Amino acid sequence: MLCTTFADVFKLSWTIRMNNLTRERSLRMRGAAIFLIFLHNLLHLLNYVKENEFAYLPIRAEKMLASFSSLSSSIVGDFFSYLGWYGVPVFIFFSGYGLVMKHEQTVSEKGFGKQPRSLRIVPYLWRNFLKLFVLMAPCYLIYVLGTGQTLFSILTMSQLTMTINLLFPQMISPGVYWYFGLTLQLYIIYLAFFHFRSKRFLMIAALLMMALGVVFEFFFDKTTNIDLRHNSPVWLPVFLAGVWYAREKSIPGLALVKKHWGKALLLLIVLWVWSAVNAYLWTASPLLVLPIFAIICICCCEIPVASGRWAHAASNILSRCLTYLGSISAGLFVCHPIIRELALKGYHSGYNIVIVTLAYAIVCICVAHIYNYCYKKAMRFLLPKR
């Protein structure tokens, strides 16, 4: 029965238009990404297996492979610990995608036109800085006070101004908040790609930054790699993938992927996991994970009724869960480091890791829902629609 259902799904998959990233599909991808991220950021502190996010360490890849090959009892936690951070490239991709859709295309009665909106540099930078600051500052200040850090220090001020990635990248606390400084850098870099839009410029920049990542991985020490990867250069290929995707009307090979998405998904997962544990492919692994998220969050969430009632119902449930998580992803991202501190205390007090993780997830989602609502209200007041 199950095999038949999935076979039917594969046959009907050609009807799904994957190149149309609607708002709901985008939310699903963000929802899947934040689910990985907020579980990873707890479990990587509790598990024996650690991630290769800011530097490639062979011993960590070996531990992950050993866990999977032996079907360790902690295999689920090890999965989130080693691979959960790969939700981050999804948000970087959507940063580039969203900027193009907002600033390079105008909405008309016939849909999206090609006439770009004007972009005034100072208002653009101010609005984007304010969005990040208002999202981060309340939770960050609560974290600083709750952990006994000095409120008026150079570290605190550099975090609030989102310059800490450049100044003290390995002293960011909570470490999760490195993403705010990275995002601000990408917003600034986008100005160059707004004014110089040739595909050649975009591709050359992406390839150069990819090559830079490889050079630093193999010829520089761990500390230098960590410093570099807390900043924008090596993440630029993922960001520019979002820019490129938003500008393209048709993408070569997409029809074939749509028709055989089951096989494509399996192949991509194998390549992604291989790249995550292989030193020579590791730099490209954030790019490989993007189509996996797209296929899962589009094809698996849009199974038609003709495929079977149960498959369709499961698809709907998955779609609604991911869409909801995506809708509160900003709040979930900024709140979970604080709740993580409480979860760690619970774990070290002797509570079972499964219970701690479940309670952590529930509290994170509840708090994020409220925080996200307040954040949106604040932004409507501070930045009313023009």
Q: Is the peptide bond before 304 cis (omega within 30 degrees of 0)?
A: no
Q: For position 18, what pLDDT does the model report?
A: 45
**Alpha carbon 362 to chain centroid, angstroms:** 20
pLDDT at 109: 36
CB-based contact 36:84 (threshold 8 Å): yes
Nearest to 52 by CA among 235, 286, 270: 286
Residue 287 CB: number of other CB atoms within 10 A?
17
* Token representation of residue 32: 């899947």
Provide the pLDDT for residue 149: 86
Determine the Cα–Cα distance for residues 309 and 315; give it in Å rounded to an integer.
10
**Token couple for 29:** 């991808």
pLDDT at residue 255, rounded to an integer: 66
pLDDT at site 213: 96
Sequential pLDDT tens for the chain (386 residues): 344 333 333 333 333 344 468 899 999 999 999 999 999 999 999 999 999 999 999 999 999 999 999 988 899 999 999 999 999 999 999 999 999 999 987 544 344 444 555 789 999 999 999 999 999 999 999 999 998 888 889 999 999 999 999 999 999 999 999 999 999 999 999 999 999 999 999 999 999 999 999 999 999 999 999 999 999 999 999 999 999 999 986 666 666 766 777 788 899 999 999 999 999 999 999 999 999 999 888 877 877 777 788 888 888 999 999 999 999 999 999 999 999 999 999 999 999 999 999 999 999 999 999 999 999 999 999 988 75
Q: How far apart are CA 299 and CA 29, in angstroms?
A: 12
Q: At what angle do helices 261-277 and 75-83 cross, to 10 degrees?
A: 80
SS3 sequence, the chain?
Answer: CHHHHHHHHHHHHHHCCCCCCCHHHHHHHHHHHHHHHHHHHHHCCCCCCCCCCCCCCHHHHHHHHHHHHCCCCCHHHHHHHHHHHHHHHHHHHHHHHHHHHHHCCCEECCEECCCCCCCCHHHHHHHHHHHHHHHHHHHHHHHHHHCCCCCCCHHHHHHHCCCHHHHCHHHCCCHHHHHHHHHHHHHHHHHHHHHCCCHHHHHHHHHHHHHHHHHHHHHCCHHHHHHHHCCCHHHHHHHHHHHHHHHCCCCCCHHHHHHCHHHHHHHHHHHHHHHHHCCCCHHHHHHHHHHHHHHHHHCCCCCCHHHCHHHHHHHHHHHHHHHHHHHCHHHHHHHHHHHHHHHHHHHHCCCCHHHHHHHHHHHHHHHHHHHHHHHHHHHHHHCCCC
On whether the CB atoms of residues 48 and 346 are closer than 8 A, the answer is no
Any residues with CB less than 8 A from the CB of 354 and at least 6 apart, and which? none
Q: Which two tokens stand for residue 93?
A: 């991709």
Close Cβ partners of 199 (under 8 Å, ≥ 6 residues apart): 244
The two three-digit tokens of residue 3, written as one number: 């095999």
